[in-house]
Amino acid sequence: MSTAVNTTSAPAGESKIELRTPSGKRQLIDRSATAFVWLAGLLAIIPLLWILGTVAVKGAAPLVTAQPDYIKTCATKDGSKWVRVEQSQCGAEPASPLDYRYTESGKYVGVGEQIEGLSKGKEPTAVSTELRIGEPQGSSAGTAKEFSLQWWTSDEGQATQNSSAGGAKHAIIGTLLIGLITSLIAVPIAVLGAVWLVEYARATKAAKVVSFAIDILSGVPSIVAALFVFALVITIGGMDRSTFAASLALVLLMLPTVLRSTEEMLKLVPDSLREASYALGVPKWKTILKVVIPTCSSGILTGIVLGLARVMGETAPLLILVAFATGTNWSPLASNMGSLPTMINEDRRFAVGSTGEVRAWGAALTLVLLVMILNLIARGIARMGKIADK
């Protein structure tokens, strides 16, 4: 709440300050403005927290796929019948506990799925010569409830709507590979363009035209950039749909973000540093390379990381320019490549409550975590730059 200040004369030549609380119409306006600011802040924060909470809760299910709450027993096939044997006669334990997770039908357990119990003496319906099956301890069902990294270390493969298998490794690798290709193309062009605008063409008509074009490009929808690359590279150039073509479309989206942030960082460098370098006889290009860019390098790196985080979640260029793959693919010229945005798009069509839908939420959580990590890296770079300045 704002207050009015009233200064009156004091006997010893000092000023006496009296604080008065506003009243009447002024007080009503101040309180209304305060309430409006609080309401606007809540309206901005609550939906964001709601989205993050939903993604965290629904997307955490694929990470809970480890040892369920049941004991392991063994069965061997004697002729046409399955016969249970003692645990000591099962032979060596498998290398991974995932090998002996089976439900009554022999289906693999995963994605936090409920496990139906096996009654004593009931024959399993699997067809292998030796089967390790699960039997709940004192109940008819158990729940897979321990943390596992399987979601991040396995591909989706041939997982279907009701299949509890399938991970996001291929999509994570594809997202990072596309981001790397995009950065290798966009970052040099953006940094050099910003250097030209600030150091060589400042306040010229050419710089104004380029700046206006960059402003327009920053507002272009991602699907328009994808269609432009499709027409130029595939229709006219004769190339096939590929990961590289999708990266070119993402370059158009990343370029204005990195260029603008780099331009602002270069403008913050004091002209006195440049003039001191020129006074020592250092050429302009070397002044830029040795003085200007190192001075604002942390800000430039922060803009690059934020620009990369911005394009990682783009979906339209990937849908138009490259096919989705359920396995890991390392080739930038391949016509199919898995990525987290397209994995979400593929699995969202499955029925609500199916394991296919759970995979979509798991991919969404993984994408949010990747973007969060990139933003933390950007904050760390900015903080290190401030420490170096001090």
Which pLDDT score is estimated for 146?
Answer: 56
Q: How many whole angstroms separate alpha carbon 239 and alpha carbon 75?
A: 56
Say if CB 75 and CB 82 are below 8 A apart. Answer: yes
Per DSSP bridges, beta strands 81-85 and 114-116 are unpaired
| Residues of the chain predicted below pLDDT 50 | 1-2, 5, 7, 66-73, 87, 91-144
* Domains along the chain with CATH numbers: 168-389 (1.10.3720.10)
Close Cβ partners of 90 (under 8 Å, ≥ 6 residues apart): 74, 130, 132
Which pLDDT score is estimated for 127?
Answer: 28
Neighbouring CB atoms inside 10 A of 181's CB total: 18
What separation, in Å, do the N-terminal and C-terminal C-alpha atoms of the chain show?
36
Q: How many whole angstroms separate alpha carbon 247 and alpha carbon 231?
A: 15
Q: How many whole angstroms separate alpha carbon 130 and alpha carbon 101?
A: 13
**Radius of gyration of the CA atoms of the chain, in A:** 31
Which pLDDT score is estimated for 12?
Answer: 55
Residue-wise pLDDT for 320-353, tens only, equals 999 888 888 888 888 888 899 999 888 888 877 6
Q: How many residues does the chain have?
A: 390
Say if CB 152 and CB 170 are below 8 A apart. Answer: no
Which pLDDT score is estimated for 16?
Answer: 60
Which pLDDT score is estimated for 110?
Answer: 44
Residue-wise pLDDT for 233-253, tens only, equals 888 888 888 899 999 999 999
